């Protein structure tokens, strides 16, 4: 065992001891977080406008601060971007994480000197909790890679601007820099396919022990490695590859193909980082769900997903949540986001400690006929059947077909790129439809009532989704394919890749 691995174990034990303190008192930690956030922002423009001086508890807070998305906070954020101080948080942000927006174009998410350390600490602690639980620490002596966006930053009114992954890349602790790949120059390549090829060239002869990234783009990296090595499995290219760290999407639809590429099952850690804050990470290889970070400068609120679009939805604090209910996640952060709807839905799988699963996006659903099918349901329906029949899924998305071109009933149209196709597509489709009916009673009623016909699967050509994302200018990095849409924008583009 190397020196780093030996030292990491007592350090991990020390860190986990501190985590256990707030983990067992998460509700109290959240109450303290809200109190500290209000006190710190009382003299900001936002704090004065929303009467923070009158806020003594969560009930007061709800009366003063409405729930908003980015567009709802844009008037304040624009002032921050323009260089004004003490607008939403004390002083100015250290960084802006620039992301692609919808109605407002580019979004500038503030990251403060108070919030940035929490991003770094959470990423570190995800690894340390794994070391403490499993005793596996040898990976810290090898090379590590995070497939990410460019670390190049610009400036806007004196504040550094970049992608979150690029900002974090510039803040990697010195003790990890020697282990980190790829090189800075390679990370700066903007063209994703050129970048992946360069990463393959830099890493194929290295002792890679940790690989991190969004699963579909890691799969592309693995495919290129296998091609370059003459068909070798990843376990043979990197015999000491021990740990896969991922986030951004549900891993299950990708697991079978990734593990086939690797050639064996390896441990993995799921993380839930966002530009708005590092929200949760997998703290156990034995328990389901991600540990909600209740002591990381974020006060969380939860709105039952089926109430989200109501005029006066229920807003709950951590101590009021129930298990197995889909909630829209609302953030209040030490970077100055208040009542901020991040757009994700989560459900709790444990209260002791508080662990969550990310179930989808509040805007990503199909309800063309009142069924309100969500991401968690379609993923479960597909993967339960695919796993049972040893079918491999590369990628998929679902959209409603309101007018059947052949004159039949409307239906849900599934566009699937298979890694390993089912022997009988019709039978496979029927089983997936039956699984979805079991997960969603409204969908069941529509099928039973002959309002909808059962789903139809359109198999796609190899790399159809890569071609689509390339055409959209969203190949690689932190970009993800939406699993569900209530319109046919993605579906109509993918129709060009269907296998006739």
Residue 100: predicted pLDDT? 63
Task: For domain 365-497, say whether CATH 3.30.300 is its number.
Answer: yes
Work out the widest C-alpha separation in the chain, in whole angstroms. Answer: 69
* Number of other CB atoms surrounding residue 259 within 10 Å: 17
DSSP letter for each residue of 433-492? HHHHHHH-HHHHHHHHTTSSPPPEEEEB-TTHHHHHHHHTT--STT----SB-SSSHHHH
Q: Is 240 exposed, middle or buried (0-12, 13-18, 19+ CB in 10 A)?
A: middle
User: What kind and span of H or E run contains 431?
Assistant: helix 425-439
Backbone angles phi, psi at 109, to 5 degrees: -95, 120
Q: Is 193 exposed, middle or buried (0-12, 13-18, 19+ CB in 10 A)?
A: middle
DSSP letter for each residue of 92-146? --SEEEEEE-STTSEEEEEE-TTTHHHHHHHHHHHHHHHHHHH---GGGGSEEEE
Per-10-residue mean pLDDT of the chain, 500 residues long, equals: 79 95 96 98 98 97 96 96 97 89 69 94 94 93 87 90 83 70 89 91 95 89 95 96 88 86 95 94 96 98 92 96 96 98 94 93 81 87 94 93 89 95 96 94 90 95 91 78 86 91
- The sheet that has 267-274: what strands, in order across it? 180-181, 143-146, 208-212, 243-247, 267-274, 277-281, 290-292, 354-361, 340-351, 327-333, 298-304
Q: Is 179 helix (H, G, I), strand (E, B) or coil?
A: coil
Residue 101: predicted pLDDT? 47
Cα–Cα distance for residue pair 381/61, rounded to 1 Å: 40
Alpha-helical segments (H) within 213-273: 215-228, 234-237, 252-262
User: What kind and span of H or E run contains 74?
Assistant: helix 70-81
Cα–Cα distance for residue pair 299/98, rounded to 1 Å: 23
DSSP state for residue 54 in the 8-state scheme? G
Tokens of 382: 């597909």
DSSP letter for each residue of 10-50? HHHHHHHHHHHHHHTTHHHHHHHHHHHHHHHHTTSHHHHHT
Question: Beta 373-374 vs 365-366: how paired, if at all?
Answer: antiparallel
Residue 270: predicted pLDDT? 95
* Number of other CB atoms surrounding residue 252 within 10 Å: 16
Q: Is 8 helix (H, G, I), strand (E, B) or coil?
A: helix
Tokens of 147: 């497939």
305-328 pLDDT, tens digit per residue, is: 989 988 899 999 999 999 999 999
What residues contact 42, with CB distance under 8 A and at least 6 apart?
Answer: 48, 52, 53
- Residue spans of the domains in the chain: they are 365-497
Residue 21: predicted pLDDT? 94
Residue 197: predicted pLDDT? 94
The CA radius of gyration of the chain, in Å to the nearest whole number, is 23
- Sign of the alpha-carbon dihedral angle for 479, 482, 488, 491: positive
Cα–Cα distance for residue pair 395/473, rounded to 1 Å: 18
Tokens of 39: 């006190």
Tokens of 9: 């174990």
User: Can you state the angle between helices 375-388 and 425-439, rounded to 10 degrees?
Assistant: 140
């Amino acid at each position: 065992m190397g020196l780093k691995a030996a030292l990491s174990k007592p350090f991990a034990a020390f860190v986990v001891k501190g985590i256990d303190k707030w983990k067992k008192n998460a509700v109290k930690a959240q109450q303290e977080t809200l109190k500290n956030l209000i006190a710190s922002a009382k003299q900001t423009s936002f704090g004065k406008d929303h009467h923070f001086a009158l806020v003594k508890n969560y009930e007061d807070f709800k009366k003063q601060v409405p729930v908003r998305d980015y567009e709802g906070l844009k008037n304040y954020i624009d002032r921050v971007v323009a260089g004004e101080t003490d607008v939403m948080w004390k002083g100015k942000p250290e960084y802006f994480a620039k992301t692609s927006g919808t109605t407002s174009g580019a979004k500038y998410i503030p990251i403060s000197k108070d919030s940035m350390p929490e991003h770094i600490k959470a990423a570190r602690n995800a690894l340390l909790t794994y070391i403490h639980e499993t005793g596996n620490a040898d990976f810290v002596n090898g090379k590590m890679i995070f497939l990410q966006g460019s670390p190049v930053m610009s400036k806007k009114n004196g504040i550094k601007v970049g992608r979150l992954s690029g900002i974090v890349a510039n803040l990697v602790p010195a003790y990890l820099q020697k282990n980190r790949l790829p090189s800075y120059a390679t990370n700066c390549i903007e063209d994703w396919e050129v970048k992946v090829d360069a990463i393959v060239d830099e890493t194929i002869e290295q002792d890679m022990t940790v690989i991190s990234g969004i699963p579909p783009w890691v799969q592309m990296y693995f495919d290129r490695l296998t091609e370059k090595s003459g068909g070798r499995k990843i376990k043979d290219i990197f015999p000491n590859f021990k740990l896969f760290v991922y986030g951004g999407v549900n891993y299950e639809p990708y697991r079978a193909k990734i593990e086939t590429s690797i050639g064996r099952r390896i441990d993995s850690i799921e993380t839930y980082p966002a530009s708005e804050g590092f929200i949760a990470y997998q703290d156990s290889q034995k328990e389901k769900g991600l540990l909600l970070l209740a002591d990381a400068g974020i006060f969380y609120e939860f709105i039952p997903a089926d109430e989200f679009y109501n005029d006066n939805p229920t807003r709950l604090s951590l101590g009021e949540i129930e298990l197995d209910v889909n909630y829209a996640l609302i953030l209040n952060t030490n970077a100055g986001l208040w009542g901020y709807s991040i757009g994700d839905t989560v459900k709790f799988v444990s209260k002791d400690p508080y662990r969550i699963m990310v179930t989808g996006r509040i805007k990503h659903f199909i309800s063309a006929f009142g069924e309100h099918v969500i991401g968690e349901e379609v993923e479960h329906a597909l993967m339960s059947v695919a796993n049972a029949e040893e079918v491999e899924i590369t990628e998929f998305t679902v959209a409603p077909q309101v007018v059947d071109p052949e004159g039949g009933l409307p239906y849900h149209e599934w566009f699937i790129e298979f890694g390993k196709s089912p022997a009988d597509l019709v039978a496979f489709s029927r089983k997936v439809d039956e699984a979805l009916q079991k997960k969603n009673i409204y969908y069941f009623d529509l099928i039973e009532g002959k309002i909808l016909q059962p789903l139809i699967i359109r198999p796609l050509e190899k790399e159809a989704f890569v071609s689509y994302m390339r055409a959209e200018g969203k190949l690689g990095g932190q970009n993800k394919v939406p699993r569900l849409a209530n319109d046919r924008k993605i579906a109509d583009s993918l129709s060009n890749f269907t296998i006739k």
